[in-house]
Amino acid sequence: MIDNSPIIQLNAAVALAESGECLPAIKKVLGLKKLLEKYRHYYTALAGLYFKNGQYNNSKRYYQLALEKTNNQNERVFICKRIYECQQLAK
């Protein structure tokens, strides 16, 4: 039996984006919000998809949400760098 949990679906959407299908991947991830809104990596994954698709303002918004959801120092450093990159690229 194939596990079709929301986290598996999230990972499948990220893989879809890696194959060049960013917009369908973003739509799939947005559809998982109610199921994954407490899962901190949901926000980082969605931010990364928006970043990959060149939607830097959306990416920044979701990285900021991700930053609020983690206490892990390494994640916080990574996310802060991405927020800075988004600010620079959105100009």
Here the tokens at position 61 are 């918004």
Query: What's the structural domain count of the chain?
Result: 1
The pLDDT value recorded for residue 24 is: 97
- Alpha-carbon distance of 64 to 72, in angstroms, equals 14
Is 60 exceeded by the pLDDT of residue 1?
no
Phi-psi region of 53 (alpha: psi -120 to 50; beta: other; left: phi over 0): alpha
CATH number for the domain that contains residue 61: 1.25.40.10
Give residue-wise pLDDT tens across range 9-29.
999 999 999 999 999 999 999
- Alpha-carbon distance of 22 to 29, in angstroms, equals 10
Give residue-wise pLDDT tens across range 25-74.
999 999 999 999 999 999 999 999 999 999 999 999 999 999 999 999 99
Whether 17 is covered by a domain: the verdict is yes
Burial of 53 (0-12, 13-18, 19+ CB in 10 A): middle
Whether 1 is covered by a domain: the verdict is no
Give 2's pLDDT tier (boundaries 50, 70, 90): low
Whether 63 is covered by a domain: the verdict is yes
